[in-house]
Amino acid sequence: GKEKWPRGDEKAWKDNMRDVDKDVPAITKSFVSHVQTSLARQPYNLDTLGAYQAAALSVRDNLLVNWNETALQYTRRAPKRAYYLSLEFLMGRTLDNALLNLDLKQPYAQATQKLGFNIEDILEKERDAALGNGGLGRLAACYLDSSASQELPVWGYGLRYKYGIFQQLISPEGNQLEAPDPWLDNQNPWELPRLDVAYEVRFYGNAERVRDENGNTTDRAQWTGGQEVLAVAYDVMIPGSYTRTTNNLRLWESKPKRGFDLNSFNAGNYEGAVESSNSAAAITSVLYPNDSTGFGKELRLKQQYFWTAASLADILRRFKNIGKPIQEFPDYVAVQLNDTHPTLAIPELMRILLDDEELPWDAAWQIVTNTFFYTNHTVLPEALEKWPVPLMEHLLPRHMQIIYDINLFFLQSVEKKFPGDRDRLGRMSLIEEGFPKQVRMAFLACIGSRKVNGVAELHSELVKTTILKDFVEFEGVSKFGNVTNGITPRRWLDQCNPELSALISSTLKVDKSVWLKDLYQLEKLLPYAEDAAFREKWAAIKQRNKERLAHHVETTLGLTINTHAMFDVQIKRLHEYKRQTLNILGVIHRYLTLKNMSKEEREKVNPRVVFFAGKAAPAYYIAKLTIRLIVNVARIINADADTKDLLSLYFLPDYSVSLAEVLIPASDISQHISTAGTEASGTSNMKFCLNGGLLLGTVDGANIEIAEEVGESNVFFFGHLTPAVEDLRYQHTYHPVPIEEKCPALAHVLNQVSAGLFGDAEVYEPLLNTIRQGDHYLLSDDFDSYIAALAMVDEAYLDRTEWVKKSIRTSAKMGKFSSDRAINEYAESYWNIEAQHIS
């Protein structure tokens, strides 16, 4: 029978439950107690790392109180919940964020001060949790922050990679080198191992169709044999801002089902004895770098299945505890698929409903298509996931059967609506013909979901008119929506720019706990753009943030930076479509122009410092060459006495969330210069603007909506528009014009690189040839207008008063880009979940 719950006397429990430590003496006591007991360290010779660990454990105690209470109240009320399935969560550091969200930063600073530590030094000791590549993973992290802050019952599910995104080193020649990121080497105080929460996950084996009493095959099957591994849960607490709500991020670790094969060992085969254990552990060993081609395909598919199977098993168990019939599953559960990576959740839920729950096909499909929601993050063809059928059949034989069945029923219904349209059937099939045949995951995600969305208005339109056009025609346009991405203002303003946050609170005379959760309030800053005293404070904060960045570069790289220059920043994953190459070629153009100027002319030029940071996928040769070019251009121009006071360039290695937190508040201008139609949204554009940096960009992604909010006069746009792109590419292929003719300025720059002005004469040819031949990303089409836009930025910067006004107006109009707005749209228009206040 069931155990009585709660056990014993509820009052005895209640009276003795601890609360959040809010005052300095209680915090000091908890800190010292963790030093003595949890860390088993002698208090008098504790180092800063030890102090970080003690502070983290003490803050964690507070999080746990709220986390338990939140879980308890969710269980008791059993509301509909949403689950965010993402292979990436780019969390960065946790301690500062937790202190701010709990409103405990001041008392912790005081308590640690008394014990001889500076809170800022303590915070610096934390390693980033870098379980993501870029925007997609950071978006997931912002959405968790907003879900908790908006008191929404949302859990994240992901993988606990032993190694996150690689550490980037730059060799003396300027090459990117990759080193593992052993982020778990120090104890990680933010995760709770839950050895009691574990599920078995099967791979390979055989799937036999079940036959009915007449010997006919049914929709059901039995999947047996193969390899079984264990998924073990690690829980990460996600505190909301100024609320008790503390949600959960559950990360799975793979473990062998049987750690050790004693038979092999006894037979003298030690390697055989540990082999199965190694192959199971490998599943969650590394995060895949984006665009890594070829390598480890099967392992990546294993990761996807391992994670979706464990997450669904966990979700189903929780649902079953409510005691409702399985048909009501979608009334209690919404599952958000972050990109196509978790698409296997669709056939997996079908498998459970058909084979375990023994539902008929239609009833099962009905549940599935009311449970899932799919977000697309790119329309680039090379980024749309496809899996070879032979691999799927080998690794997941039962899922491949189900996918074939889904496809059969689906194509039958398409045929019904568009009789005789064989082209259409071929285009829409879940299986792409070819050698080998491949499963089109985006199509499966689309037809298995209740709704589909893109991440900015332009992108969502492109999804509907390009990659999913046939599906819009078949299923109707109302299934396809847009949720423009957002960013959490807690991390991306309050945490990374505390002085600006304080100025905003004092100016608006509103506590930050209010405006940080209602970012539209920033609009009230608009009139202050006309207030000279306010402008001065605003500009002084930007200046101090520039000095903070310069100090960071000085202490980490030993380089001295001119903080009176304009700071121009481009930070993101290296990719041809993001066009870091356009930026570096523009820098070279500026350098050559400066070299040609007279001394008098140079005196009128405003100094500029250009920053780059970002990682290239280890197998992405052209992206790596771009890094090498940036590093070597920097070497030459930073040493050129004629120009170095007017132009300098830095490639900051090992880009991370924490580095972004230093760079973003320091930027005067940032670059978001993708070829029109290629950047789905971008989110760092929002972060820069929120911190009063102006935007230089193409008419692409969320740049467009930013301009709509702040007004076109406050952004610097250039380049061709999306509708022109296809034609231009056609011209490049069928009527190519030599670059010398089309864009002499660019040709000159390319020739200087080829001639060896930055060393390594031949090394860059493959990179330059991507522009000279084909020029898929249209650098030669956009170069002149790019240079013109850069000149407009220079011009605008000369009138510093007007510039600061633009900066204030930009920041003031960022309300829309809070991830709170975005998450509320998902909650209302997609998941149909409601806020749960945790008392």
By C-alpha distance, which of 261, 286, 263, 285 is closest to 275? 261
Q: Containing H/E element for 192?
A: strand 191-203
Of 126, 235, 654, 679, the one binding ligand H2P by CB under 6 A: 679
Query: Min. distance of Cβ 734 from ligand H2P in angstroms?
Result: 29
CB of 555 to ligand H2P, least distance (A): 28
Angle at 94 between CA 90 and CA 99, to 5 degrees: 145
Torsion from C-alpha of 164, 167, 52, 490, nearest 10 degrees = -70
**Class of residue 14 by CB neighbours under 10 A (exposed 0-12, middle 13-18, buried 19+):** exposed
Out of 62, 101, 371, 683, the only residue in the binding site for ligand H2P (CB under 6 A) is 683
- For the chain, the distance separating the N- and C-terminal CA atoms, rounded to the nearest angstrom, is 32
Q: How far is the CB of 692 from ligand H2P (least distance, A)?
A: 21
Residue 485 sits in the site that holds ligand H2P (CB under 6 A): yes
Site string for ligand H2P, 418-457 (x = CB under 6 A): -------------------------------------x--
Are 365 and 345 in contact by the 8 Å Cβ rule? The answer is no
For residues 364 and 366, give the distance between their C-alpha atoms in angstroms, rounded to a whole number.
5
Q: Using CB under 6 A as the criterion, what x/- string covers residues 110-139 for binding ligand H2P?
A: -----------------------xxxx--x
Q: Which is nearer to ligand H2P, 133 or 770 (CB)?
A: 133
Structure tokens, 722: 């999306």
Q: Which of 247, 284, 303, 378 binds ligand H2P (CB under 6 A)?
A: 378
Distances (CA, A) of 380 to 217, 292, 578, 675, 680: 41, 15, 12, 11, 9
Residue count, binding to ligand H2P (CB under 6 A): 17
Between 134 and 163, how does the x/- string for binding to ligand H2P read (CB under 6 A)?
xxx--x------------------------
| Cβ(810)–Cβ(694) below 8 Å | yes
Contact 92, 98 (CB under 8 A): no
Restricting to residues 559-588, which ones interact with ligand H2P according to CB under 6 A? 572-573
Contact flag: residue 92 with ligand H2P (CB under 6 A): no
Query: Residue 448 or residue 701: which is nearer to ligand H2P going by CB?
Result: 701
In this structure, are residues 609 and 651 in contact, taking their beta carbons and an 8 Å threshold? no
Span interacting with ligand H2P, options 341-349, 673-681, 727-735, 751-759, rule CB under 6 A? 673-681
C-alpha to C-alpha distances, 511 to 22, 148, 502, nearest whole angstrom: 18, 19, 9
∠ CA 10-14-17, nearest 5°, is 140
Distance CA 304, CA 344 (A): 7
Least Å from the CB of residue 772 to ligand H2P: 26
Q: What is the DSSP letter of 326?
A: G
Which region among 96-104, 142-150, 681-689, 718-726 touches ligand H2P (by CB under 6 A)? 681-689
Name residue 235's amino acid.
D
Q: How far is the CB of 553 from ligand H2P (least distance, A)?
A: 23
Whether the Cβ atoms of residue 708 and residue 817 lie closer than 8 Å to each other: no
CA gap 764, 252 in Å, rounded: 42
Is 809 near ligand H2P (CB under 6 A)? Answer: no
Sole binder of ligand H2P in the list 92, 240, 682, 815 (CB under 6 A): 682
Interaction between residue 687 and ligand H2P (CB under 6 A): no
Residues 6+ positions from 579 with CB-CB distance below 8 Å: 673, 674, 675, 777, 779
Query: Which is nearer to ligand H2P, 62 or 678 (by Cβ)?
Result: 678
Q: Which of residues 731-770 bind ligand H2P (CB under 6 A)?
A: none
By CB under 6 A, residue 398 contacts ligand H2P: no
- Complex with ligand H2P: residue 105 or 377, whichever CB lies closer: 377
Distance CA 737, CA 734 (A): 10
Positive or negative torsion for Cα 136, 140, 145, 151: positive
Any idea which residues carry the catalytic annotation? 377, 572-573, 578, 683, 687
- Which C-beta is closer to ligand H2P: that of 485 or that of 501? 485
Name the residue nearer to ligand H2P (CB basis): 371 or 683. 683
| Contact residue for ligand H2P among 484, 670, 681, 703 (CB under 6 A) | 681
Cβ proximity to ligand H2P: between 462 and 739 the closer is 462
| 821 is a site residue for ligand H2P (CB under 6 A) | no
**Strand ranges inside 49-183, DSSP E:** 81-85, 89-92, 129-131, 154-159, 167-170, 176-179
Q: What angle do CA 337, 316, 279 make, to 5 degrees?
A: 70
Residue 158 or 682: which CB sits closer to ligand H2P? 682
Nearer to ligand H2P, 783 or 817 (CB): 817
Is there a contact between 311 and 85 (Cβ–Cβ < 8 Å)?
Answer: yes
Q: Residue 699 Cβ, how far from ligand H2P at the closest point, in Å?
A: 14
Return the number of the residue (482 or 505) whose C-beta is nearest ligand H2P. Answer: 482
* Cα 328 versus chain centre, distance: 32
Q: Which stretch binds ligand H2P (CB under 6 A): 34-42, 680-688, 732-740, 782-790?
A: 680-688
Map tokens 């990109």 to a residue. Answer: 339
Binding mask 455-474 for ligand H2P (x = CB under 6 A): x-------------------
Residues at the contact surface with ligand H2P, assessed by CB under 6 A? 133-136, 139, 377-378, 455, 485, 572-573, 679-683, 701
